Amino acid sequence: ASFPGNLHLVLVLRPTSFFQRTVTDLGFRFSQEDFMLKMPVVMLSSVTDLLRYIDENQLTSEFGGTLDYCHSDWI
């Protein structure tokens, strides 16, 4: 299977709880070799870090943005 577009960057928002963050870090280390040559991966430590990469009008409020989005309306 392939993705129909071109990915130039992968942003990974690390979970906030210690246990989830540890599991994510371990899983990421094992799979990092798969991504290393294909595209850059940036690990973000907080939601506000997303604003350095994505404009706030493209993010919902749960990610520090201003985008008004309702999934049931979209469907």
Q: Would you kindly state where each structural domain of the chain is located, as residue ranges? A: 10-74
Query: What value does the mean pLDDT take over residues 42-48?
Result: 86
Query: What value does the mean pLDDT take over residues 52-67?
Result: 93
Alpha helices for the chain (secondary structure H): 18-36, 71-74
Q: What is the pLDDT of residue 51?
A: 93
Query: What value does the mean pLDDT take over residues 46-54?
Result: 91
Q: What is the pLDDT of residue 38?
A: 67
Task: List C-alpha distances in Å: 29 to 20, 23, 33, 43.
Answer: 14, 10, 8, 12
Q: What is the pLDDT of residue 47?
A: 87
For 14-36, how does the pLDDT look when each residue is reduced to its tens digit (9 = 90+)?
A: 766 655 555 555 556 555 555 55
Question: Do residues 63 and 47 touch, judged by C-beta distance below 8 A?
Answer: yes
**CA angle centred on 20, ends 50 and 71, rounded to 5°:** 55
